[in-house]
Amino acid sequence: MAAKTISPQEAHRMIADGAVLVDVRQPQEIDREMIEGAIAAPLSSLRAADLEAARDRKAIFFCHSGARTRMLAGQIEAKASGICEPYYLAGGIVAWRRAGLPTVAVPRPPGLLARLFGQ
């Protein structure tokens, strides 16, 4: 059976009941903005061992917009098999933020012109 896609609000309720978030974006994306408490497990190097913190729990996988998790759902489900019960966050971290749920954003350093001219 395929993993279910859920809304940010459903995900938030599930987390309150013990589910875990699994961030499958690349490290440089996570460095810009993240959801506090999410397990970092980039899809480019995802191994079953990366999911041990989610063992015997519901795991909500997310990327930036939901496209990667949809496209690679089979790969995610194969890695999660026997470890956790996978779900997908519809719309990724973008939808989470738009739903008013908290993220931790790292401010970007000022651009070259701002550094040179103080703008």
Query: Coil, strand or helix: which one is 12?
Result: helix
The residue from 63, 76, 84, 90 that is catalytic is 63
CA 54 to chain centre: 13
Query: Using CA atoms, how far apart are residues 78 and 105, in angstroms rounded to an integer?
Result: 31
Q: What are the respective helix, strand and coil percentages of the chain, to the nearest 5?
A: 45, 20, 40
Is residue 63 annotated as a catalytic residue, yes or no?
Answer: yes
Active site residues: 63
